[in-house]
């Protein structure tokens, strides 16, 4: 079976309006394309001071100096030191730096040094991860075409010669030759074209190649630039045919460059950024309130002065999760590295991995994700609407012999679908005589063949757009109307429709012309649909299981998009499909409500896609957007997470947060899974650490008011925090329960505050119970020894209770679940061992700790058993009553 691809435009849908207006430097004249369709090729050449014979080398050099090289504005990747400095702007890091400064101000140098070390480690990890991603992106940017064929003359009187030059050296006025497979290197106006079709999906999102011609036909006043057949734009590629064009815009003045400029500037805060700011402000409020409360309470009730300031600072430090930047960065960097190795997914911005885990709405185009970039034959239709394989056979005969006799470089996508659906023996039974290839004016093609057993007769097989074929058939007006309605019904159902007709002519030697395409006998229709992507259905099922809602934002006809959805099993109600022009008059609030209940937005312009994404975010959703064209740049930036495949337009790839190896929905599913793993571990760390820290702070404040001595020395607080913080790094290597993957893992500051308040009070109750136990166990020789016993007992209890919290409050886990403890289990056990062993060890006296009596351990075991039971009961109640449908465990 012959090979093929691209479309010459038979019944192809028109590209969408709303293209990006061309950009130009200040002071430059209106582009030569100007009003586009209203300007003839001759006028364009005159304005450019060029001719069909091409520029001379001297003229080209002068223009290159004037207009500059034909490249997009340079994108300079941030250096490693710049990335390191940028990571200091993280709110969590700012909180820790403030604590370090306060610690240094009260001469708590060891605390300040430890905090600064943690900040440095976090910043280095984040900068290194993003630097590696930038290097990967730099490699992708090199995968582009570098040369173009132009006509140049050595001097004015010399004959023009075609030669290859780097695309950077193209200048306005250059005459460029285009052929199948070529990338369009600049914005240009066609001078000549033969069977030329161009892929503009990178610019408009339209899946079918667009027919281009050089005819000076008038364009409608509201026709967008991308829709005008005389113009070709940088970023598109030639599907079939050939052409000659004059360059009208290069470099930063092309429409492609105008879209590139959209990626310059500051994006709105993502879901991760909003969560970080919310949690940071919670911590800041607690830290600002804690030291004054400690100082005032001790001054009022214990008549203590500034000597309690180091203790007050230690309490504030104890509240803060010092390891947070390190744990967050390690979780995200590890998840990003695993994604890159296993699935070829590059996470350019580490926080974007968390946002992927929080995504609950994914916006995507139809083409290349739900469907492939090729059609397949649905069926042939007889005039009465019944199935007719003969219509497909005749259409395939036309496709085969047009390809052979017209010497086309390759069949278009429609012809290839017909050839794939036909029997090769049926095609070879005919002998080809002549062919009239498709052209955009006739909108049909004709193959002339000798039918077996019919000597002296030639059969004309005509295939093309419905209206063009029917008007050449011998049909009564009512029959034409009935067939047109049949074709319209199929088109409304999302199918492409070709009409097929034949005619018998006496054999002759004279050439056939379009004038012979008259008096045809209608043979039927051939309907075609988009081929479904093989990974689309399982990926959509996985998204539904993970609580991710799909929104389809496409430039295609609503019927085409709805058909693809139905074929993939997506149920659509009567109001689930809208054309995007319906949203133009809506306010942002109205659009947010409409977007929530609508599945398919068809005929979307770039502005529609960006506005819909922003409206969904306004409605409280975390939005991911998958795009690959210049027309998708605004929407990529409007979403929380912009996703682009490796083969996307450069400007789309640069504007994305995540780059996929292929345009494959299963890769996004893997990325969401990795994001939820990382986000779940971060959320678990925050809940466990903050609730435990809050309980300790409450207990410290109570003990400070009840005891005649400090409940814990600053050095002991520091060592306790170091032990606890060190083992917390194990959460970055934990594997959350599979239940975590079934819902988004957003960091909700309010939900977090409720959690840490409830479980923090429970933790404080355990500490206060320990105080009672210590009061019963205090039988030292004097006040000094009693103080050491209290410090040691509380130190031991704190580390053991924190190890219990690590085990019992892990996301989705149950105690003793699994055959092996895992990193969290082992580190929790190590923390408990340190709590028991350190006080009686030789290091204990250096920290003011001492050995504890046996009865203390017996009573402590009873308290810990009650505490563990309380944690299990509280967690069960929390899971049953407090978890919303979108809130993580």
The catalytic residue positions are: 365
Helix (H), strand (E) counts: the chain: 28, 22
Beta bridge partners, 625, equal: 363, 642
Beta bridge partners, 237, equal: 183, 199
Question: How far is the C-alpha of 363 from the C-alpha of 358, rounded, in Å?
Answer: 14
Local structure of residue 663 (DSSP, 8 states): S
Sorted by sequence, the CB contacts under 8 Å of residue 56 that are 6+ apart come out as 152, 153, 154, 155, 156, 158
- Written as one string, the DSSP assignment of 680-741 is HHHHHHHHHHHHHHHHHHHHHHHHHHHSSS-SS-HHHHHHHHHHHHHHHGGGGG----GGGG
From residue 776, how far is each of 328, 702, 790 by CA, in Å? 42, 18, 11
Strands (E), 507-640: 521-532, 549-553, 577-579, 600-602, 623-626
Q: Are 279 and 747 contacting, i.e. CB atoms less than 8 angstroms apart?
A: yes
And the tokens for 137? 């992106």
Question: How far is the C-alpha of 561 from the C-alpha of 553, rounded, in Å?
Answer: 9
Task: Give alpha helix (H) positions in 244-270.
Answer: 255-260
Question: How far is the C-alpha of 18 from the C-alpha of 222, rounded, in Å?
Answer: 10
Local structure of residue 27 (DSSP, 8 states): T
Strand 577-579 with 600-602, pairing? parallel
What's the 3-state SS for 100-162?
HHHHHHCCCHHHHHHHHHHHHHHHHHHHHHHHHHHHHHHHHHCCCCCEEEEEEECCCCCCCEE
Question: How far is the C-alpha of 658 from the C-alpha of 339, rounded, in Å?
Answer: 11
Strand 55-56 with 147-153, pairing? parallel
Sequence length of the chain is 889
Q: What are phi and psi of 314, to 5 degrees?
A: -65, -40
Local structure of residue 473 (DSSP, 8 states): B
Q: Which residue's entry shows tokens 């083992």?
A: 727
Q: Select from 689, 840, 591, 651 the least CA-distant residue to 256.
A: 651
The number of beta carbons lying within 10 Å of the beta carbon of residue 321 is: 25
Q: Are 742 and 850 contacting, i.e. CB atoms less than 8 angstroms apart?
A: no
Local structure of residue 520 (DSSP, 8 states): B
Question: Which long-range contacts (C-beta less than 8 Å, at least 24 apart) are formed by 25-33?
Answer: 25/252, 25/253, 28/253, 31/187, 31/248, 31/249, 31/253, 32/172, 32/189, 32/246, 32/248, 32/249, 33/187, 33/189, 33/225, 33/231, 33/248, 33/249
And the tokens for 309? 């300031």
Q: Are 511 and 378 contacting, i.e. CB atoms less than 8 angstroms apart?
A: no
Q: Select from 350, 864, 368 the least CA-distant residue to 627.
A: 368
Strands (E), 509-634: 521-532, 549-553, 577-579, 600-602, 623-626
Question: How far is the C-alpha of 700 from the C-alpha of 312, rounded, in Å?
Answer: 10
Question: How far is the C-alpha of 318 from the C-alpha of 425, rounded, in Å?
Answer: 82
């Amino acid at each position: 079976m012959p090979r093929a691809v691209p479309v010459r435009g038979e019944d192809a849908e028109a590209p969408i309006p709303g293209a990006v207006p061309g950009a130009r430097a200040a002071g430059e004249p209106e582009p030569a394309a100007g009003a586009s369709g209203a300007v003839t090729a001759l006028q364009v050449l005159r304005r450019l001071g060029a001719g069909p014979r091409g520029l001379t080398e001297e003229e080209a050099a002068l223009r290159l100096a004037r207009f500059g090289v034909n490249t997009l504005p340079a994108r300079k990747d941030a250096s490693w030191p710049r990335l390191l400095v940028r990571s200091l702007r993280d709110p969590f890091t700012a909180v820790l730096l403030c604590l370090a400064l306060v610690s240094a101000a009260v001469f708590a140098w060891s605390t300040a040094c430890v905090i600064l070390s943690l900040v440095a480690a976090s910043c280095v990890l984040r900068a290194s991860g993003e630097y590696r991603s930038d290097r990967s992106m730099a490699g992708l940017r090199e995968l582009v075409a570098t040369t173009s064929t132009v006509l140049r003359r050595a001097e004015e009187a010399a004959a023009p010669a075609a030669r290859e030059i780097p695309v950077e050296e193209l200048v306005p006025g250059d005459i460029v030759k285009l052929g199948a497979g070529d990338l369009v290197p600049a914005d240009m106006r066609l001078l000549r074209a033969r069977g030329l079709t161009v892929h503009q999906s990178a610019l408009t999102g339209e899946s079918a190649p667009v027919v281009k011609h050089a005819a000076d036909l008038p364009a409608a006043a509201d026709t967008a630039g991308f829709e005008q057949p005389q113009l070709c734009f940088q970023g598109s590629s030639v599907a079939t045919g050939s052409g000659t064009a004059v360059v009208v815009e290069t470099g930063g003045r092309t429409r492609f460059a105008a879209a590139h400029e959209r990626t310059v500037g500051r994006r709105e805060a993502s879901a991760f950024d909003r969560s970080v700011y919310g949690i940071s402000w919670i911590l800041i409020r607690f830290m600002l309130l804690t030291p004054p409360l400690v100082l005032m309470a001790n001054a009022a009730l214990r008549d203590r002065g500034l000597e309690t300031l180091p203790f007050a600072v230690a309490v504030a430090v104890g509240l803060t999760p010092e390891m947070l930047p390190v744990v967050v960065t390690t979780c995200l960097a590890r998840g990003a590295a695993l994604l890159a190795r296993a699935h070829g997914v590059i996470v350019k911005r580490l926080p974007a991995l968390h946002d992927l885990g929080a995504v609950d709405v994914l916006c995507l185009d139809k083409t290349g994700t739900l469907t492939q970039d090729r059609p397949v034959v649905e069926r042939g239709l007889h005039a009465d609407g019944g199935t007719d394989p003969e219509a497909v056979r005749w259409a395939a005969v036309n496709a085969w012999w047009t390809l052979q006799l017209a010497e086309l470089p390759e069949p278009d996508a429609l012809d290839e679908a017909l050839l794939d659906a036909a029997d090769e023996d049926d095609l070879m039974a005919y002998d080809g005589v002549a062919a009239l290839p498709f052209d955009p004016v006739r909108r049909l093609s004709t193959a002339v063949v000798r039918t077996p057993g019919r000597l002296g007769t030639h059969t004309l097989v005509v295939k093309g757009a419905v209206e063009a074929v029917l008007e050449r058939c011998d049909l009564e007006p009512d029959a034409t109307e009935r067939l047109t309605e049949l074709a319209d019904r199929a088109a409304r159902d999302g199918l492409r429709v070709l009409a097929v007709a034949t005619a018998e002519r006496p054999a002759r030697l004279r050439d056939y012309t379009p004038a012979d395409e008259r008096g045809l006998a209608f043979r039927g229709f051939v309907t075609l649909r988009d081929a479904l992507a093989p990974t689309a259905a399982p990926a959509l099922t996985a998204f539904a299981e993970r609580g991710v809602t799909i929104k389809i934002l496409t430039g295609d006809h609503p019927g085409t998009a709805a058909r693809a959805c139905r074929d993939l099993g997506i149920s659509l109600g009567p109001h689930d499909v809208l054309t995007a022009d319906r949203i133009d008059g809506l306010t942002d609030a109205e659009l947010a409500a409409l977007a929530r209940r609508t599945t398919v937005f068809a005929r979307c312009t770039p502005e529609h896609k960006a506005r819909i994404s922003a409206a969904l975010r306004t409605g409280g959703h975390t939005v991911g957007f998958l795009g690959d064209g210049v027309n998708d740049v605004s929407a990529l930036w409007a979403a929380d997470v912009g996703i682009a495949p490796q083969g996307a337009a450069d400007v789309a790839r640069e504007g994305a947060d995540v780059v996929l190896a292929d345009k494959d929905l299963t890769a996004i599913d893997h990325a969401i899974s990795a994001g939820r793993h990382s986000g779940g571990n971060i959320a678990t760390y925050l809940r466990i650490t903050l609730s435990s820290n809050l309980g300790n702070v409450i207990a410290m404040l109570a003990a400070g008011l009840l005891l005649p001595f400090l409940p814990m020395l600053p050095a002991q607080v520091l060592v306790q925090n170091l032990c606890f913080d060190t083992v917390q790094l194990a959460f970055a290597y934990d594997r959350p329960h599979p239940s975590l993957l079934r819902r988004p893992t957003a960091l909700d500051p309010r939900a977090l505050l409720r959690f840490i308040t409830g479980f923090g009070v429970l933790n404080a109750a355990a500490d206060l119970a320990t105080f009672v136990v210590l009061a019963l166990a205090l039988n030292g020789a004097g006040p000094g020894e009693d103080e050491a016993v209290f410090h040691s007992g509380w130190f031991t209890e704190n580390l053991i209770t924190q190890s219990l919290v690590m085990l019992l409050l892990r996301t989705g886990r149950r105690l003793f679940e699994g055959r092996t403890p895992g990193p969290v289990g082992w580190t929790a056990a190590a923390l408990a061992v340190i709590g028991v062993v350190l006080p009686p060890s030789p290091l204990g006296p250096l920290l003011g700790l001492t050995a504890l009596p046996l009865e203390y351990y017996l009573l402590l075991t009873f308290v810990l058993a009650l505490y563990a039971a309380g944690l299990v009961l509280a967690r069960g109640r929390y899971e049953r009553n407090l978890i919303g449908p979108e809130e993580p465990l």
